[in-house]
Structure 1
């Protein structure tokens, strides 16, 4: 699509966000940050992240790590999760190994844990689309800069972030609110030297629209730590049922994905289809997940 056609689609996504601006009141719960996991010492001993991060603010150091990691991690949408989800195992498996790609969920986990190891508050954030028939979602890392007392979103899959008209990097929640208000937001690659943000907006409109499409609903790891906590905090819009969405999505995936995915060399039908059938059973029997107050997305982290 050309710029004009893509901008029309972007405006549709912004309209969905505008009509679903408010989140459910939810329970007051804070994300837990474990900054003292013993595995962090092994991570920093094995990989030169302290040198890569260098000195400066939490944001500056995190961006240096982002720019180092992102080009060295190949993307695979059908990665099956067979490697333990922690930075040590994932880096051993995928760093500088293009034949062994991983997905955005695991890339975000690597960046999260490296930042935590460096003493930088970080969390993994998943955001999902309005339609249950959209196979896609995305996962990024947000870091907290103590000097600015502000959250920032960094995307290790695309090696970039979202900025406003001043070039200030945004959190996902800030980007969502600006998109709902049709205020300026554009994707920016971390290595970009383009200073004309309007030009950047036109160049990256498809990527910006992609974020808008997925920013309908947000999830955050309940515990940011070494390895998986196994629990996500949910931030759904008002009058939205995660259970109904999940059932419709799982049933549709089972029906449609095999034909859709035939073009992907790394799609293993014998592995993926049993997982999809199991997902349908799980969602059909699940209860409505508890909603968490959106205040947790902006709070100062406490370890």
Structure 2
């Protein structure tokens, strides 16, 4: 009996030693490989969920995106931020958009603020970071960048990008910039200090990012500042490309008065969640991502 207990004890100690060795190897020797494996596995699950959503479908839901300008507000913002020191009139729209996004990223880190800003526009948010908290979340990043871009005549939307899981309270908000030279949209993310491009270097829109994610086509993560793990970033995007919402009319002070309707792009058969009653639901991706139309 004593011999049996001794054998069992040795076996148990051996098992504990083996598990400890595996843990130490995973923790210190193969840590990067383990993280890469888990990231890849998680990303694949998210991609499969996108694929299972099926293709978008045309519909006749009535809405029209408009892009409102205000010359007095534009001048006020340009002068307040001294944007003439940041942008180059001879540069492309994309180069100037990146310069403005880098300015925001450099001066305002990401954080989930404890005190919500009273005034959610460019000047109000900037002063908030100088007097209340030095950092804030992706939505406030996008509102600030939206108005800086708008003041330079750069058409853009700030778009909320959401997951399929209603229990997942994490979403992401970025700017979608219209590039007239290329006649296409491009996503830029001052909060996570990145944008996504094709292997050839062409900046991608949210629509293109979703299409490439579903198709398994390669994408490259470009940093506005510093470095970021590209696979983690693309895995995060695979989660938050399921559905989208944005304002029907863009302009200054959009989230000061909260006037107007939101438009939600949803996969067919998916109802979304936490949507206001006034939100317009559509599955027509072609119209949702259409080129901006001239003001009437």
Q: Scaled by the length of structure 2, what TM-score is found?
A: 0.79
Contact 1:29 1:296 in 2 (8 A): no
Residue of structure 2 aligned with 1:52, choices 86, 96, 99: 86
Larger relative contact order (Cα-Cα within 8 Å, sequence gap ≥ 6): 1
SS in 2 for 1:147: coil
- The whole-number CA distance in structure 2 between the counterparts of 1:37 and 1:24 is 38
After TM superposition, the runs of 4+ consecutive aligned structure 1 residues lying more than 6 A away are none
- 1:83: how far off? 2.3
1:12 aligns with 2:45: yes
- How large is the Cα RMSD of the aligned pairs? 2.2
- 1:28: how far off? 4.5
SS in 1 for 2:86: helix
SS in 1 for 2:280: coil
- 1:288: how far off? 8.5
- Provide the residue aligned with 2:198 in structure 1: 164
- Provide the residue aligned with 1:208 in structure 2: 234
- Provide the residue aligned with 2:280 in structure 1: 290
- The whole-number CA distance in structure 2 between the counterparts of 1:104 and 1:79 is 14
Please list every run of 5 or more consecutive structure 1 residues that lacks an aligned counterpart in the other structure.
194-199, 247-282
How many equivalent residue pairs? 254
SS in 2 for 1:226: coil
Q: Pick closer, same or farther for the CA change 1:128–1:80 going to 2, 3 Å.
A: farther
1:22 aligns with 2:52: no
- The whole-number CA distance in structure 2 between the counterparts of 1:192 and 1:168 is 20
Structure 1, residues 132-190: CA drift from partner, whole Å, max 9, x if none?
11120000001101111110000010111111221221001100011011111232212
Contact 1:21 1:180 in 2 (8 A): no
Structure 1, residues 28-70: CA drift from partner, whole Å, max 9, x if none?
5331101225211111111121320213111111001111111
Residue of structure 2 aligned with 1:175, choices 188, 209, 214: 209
Q: Scaled by the length of structure 1, what TM-score is found?
A: 0.77
SS in 2 for 1:126: strand
Residue of structure 2 aligned with 1:190, choices 202, 224, 227: 224
Q: Pick closer, same or farther for the CA change 1:20–1:186 going to 2, 3 Å.
A: farther
Larger Cα-atom Rg: 2
Q: Residues 111-130 of structure 1: matches in 2 within 5 Å?
A: 111-130=145-164
- Provide the residue aligned with 2:183 in structure 1: 149
Which stretch shifts more, 224-233 or 117-126?
224-233
